[in-house]
Chain A
């Protein structure tokens, strides 16, 4: 199942036949993570002072990076249509606001969302692979994914089988991701590690490495159904995994922290961390997303505060 690539060994290829090696590294030697160091480093990012114009630009960028999400058992077509309207019309009294990056829904709601968003440029992301637990067969997960793609999903948010991962079956996880990636076709694949269930930073790092090598376009922290969801330290571990992978292979991978980011100040801290870990190339919604639902309104309230000088109340902003 594991794909192979042909590597030219620069100095020797003239005299030696081309050597075929596996692209899949030995995941048992993923680097260990210094837990104390990561937590301290992540805390530093919250100390930057971001004011005025920089803050406003950061807030606008945050809006543009949001995957506006509704993943509830009670989701109805009406609810999804309402969310899609909000995605395009965040706050019409403020001219020139960006839209959010995408709307994130269950596969059964993809068609509704796709129709509601029309040609607005806002993408439709669908969760799949027996979200949120992932406790189903490979076949069901594949059909789940293909269904979402057929319905018109631009992006797929899959979950990994955390149980298998914790049992040490890394090849199973690798194959699982690679299979789903194949089924995605042109759709971009986000791989949810569900860091809240992995337990240690070492395991988060390992899962990140596996996901990226198996073809993930994004790695994502959480489903939002498990606490803790996204935290700054765990996101930093994943960002560093992306950086190391980029240095090794030259391929960019996106990052999506999801769950628990509901205040704009925290979102700005994440952007600082992103900028200082991966740099400006990642500072757009092609490579970074926030999975959130209530964050958008808090950012809007901050933007209106910056514009009017008056503290805002939630009565004056659309609920979804």
Chain B
């Protein structure tokens, strides 16, 4: 990785050289916008904050998303849910694989952004490569977890009784502050691999990769609304992530006991499925498992009347 190896070549948004002389060409800076329903709007609130690295350098202006942005994202998610959840599992796998392909082709940019956000070059490269591999991992699970976690249940009546996992619905995800790319990708892939749609709140202090990932999603056959990405303050948004009646599950990563308690209380209003990921090492093998998919599944059990149990003996 040429970009990653030459750490010194990374210049955060230089507008002038060491002597204070402006460069011949002004760099074109990217506007980091939020991602709702397959589009990149600015926040409805018009508010923004500055992402700053540890030396105090300004990296970018980021949207300070409001509850209305979240509400719009829920509507987009709900609209997308029908199509996404009823697609063939194999097709969902293809789409996840496609995300990985797109990310692979742009990995230099992601490594660069991580380095801008104070991640050492080698760690940045590891995180991006692992993120790509994680997408491949969940792409593979898309059409496999369902038969593994389905059961045929022994019952004492004349029924063929079986249970299958089905997607919970719209999931709101509070991504971890650290591992701003890998943690987000891990939580997101497990959610959408299982047929859910999601709204993700990106890391506040390291938000660049989340927005760039949205651009990757937008060019990788992921239908608009399946993944929505917001940037902004967790304290502003978490109450709404937790109490919106049209959200069916919430995933919350590394937010401490007080916030977790608040989420659990508010989620109880419509019995949201609450999943808490504290202290998960996303870089290790513990950071990936089909059980992450199962965290966001509902198990449906069907009782199908039959004449015989077992089939060998007559039922009368």
Contacts and interface: CB of A to CB of B under 8 A. Distances in A.
A311 B74 contact: yes
Nearest to B170: A313
Interface in B26-82: 67, 71, 74, 78
A313 B244 CA distance: 7
Interface in A282-316: 310-316
A313 B243 contact: no
A311 B269 contact: no
Interface string B223-251: 00000000000000000100111110000
B48 to A, nearest CB: 22
A311 B71 contact: yes
Contact of A315 (B67, B71, B74, B245): B245
B66 to A, nearest CB: 12
Contacts of A313: 78, 244-247, 270
| Most chain B beta carbons < 10 A, residue from A310, A312, A314 | A310
A312 B246 contact: yes
Main secondary structure, interface of A, reads loop
A316 B67 CA distance: 21
Nearest to B67: A311
A314 B78 CA distance: 10
A315 B243 contact: no
A310 B246 contact: no
A70 B293 CA distance: 41
Contacts of A311: 67, 71, 74, 240, 243-246
Contacts of B67: 311
A203 B273 CA distance: 56
A311 B78 CA distance: 14
Interface residues of A, number: 7
A316 B78 CA distance: 14
B267 to A, nearest CB: 11
A315 B244 contact: no
Q: Which residue, of B71, B240, B245, B269, has the highest number of chain A Cβ atoms within 10 A?
A: B245
Nearest to B247: A313
A115 to B, nearest CB: 35
Contacts of A314: 78, 246
A314 B170 CA distance: 13
Contacts of B240: 311
Nearest to A314: B246
A240 B3 CA distance: 65
Most chain A CB inside 10 Å of its own CB: which residue of B240, B244, B246? B246
A21 B240 CA distance: 67
B262 to A, nearest CB: 14
A52 to B, nearest CB: 16
A1 B247 CA distance: 61
Nearest to B246: A313
A316 B245 CA distance: 8
B49 to A, nearest CB: 24
Contacts of B245: 310-313, 315-316
A310 B272 CA distance: 14
B114 to A, nearest CB: 34
B246 A315 contact: yes
Contacts of B246: 311-315
Nearest to B68: A311
B281 to A, nearest CB: 34
Nearest to B266: A310
A310 B78 CA distance: 17
A194 B62 CA distance: 46
B82 to A, nearest CB: 13
Nearest to B243: A310
A251 B265 CA distance: 57
Contacts of B71: 311
Nearest to B70: A311
Contacts of B74: 311
B268 to A, nearest CB: 12
A312 B244 CA distance: 6
21 contacts: A310-B244, A310-B269, A311-B67, A311-B71, A311-B74, A311-B240, A311-B244, A311-B245, A312-B245, A312-B246, A313-B78, A313-B244, A313-B245, A313-B246, A313-B270, A314-B78, A314-B246, A315-B245, A315-B246, A316-B245, A316-B270
Given A311-B71, A313-B78, 17 more contacts: A310-B243, A310-B244, A310-B245, A310-B269, A311-B67, A311-B74, A311-B240, A311-B243, A312-B245, A312-B246, A313-B245, A313-B246, A313-B270, A314-B246, A315-B246, A316-B245, A316-B270
Interface pairs A-B: 4 shortest CB-CB: A313-B246, A313-B245, A311-B244, A312-B245
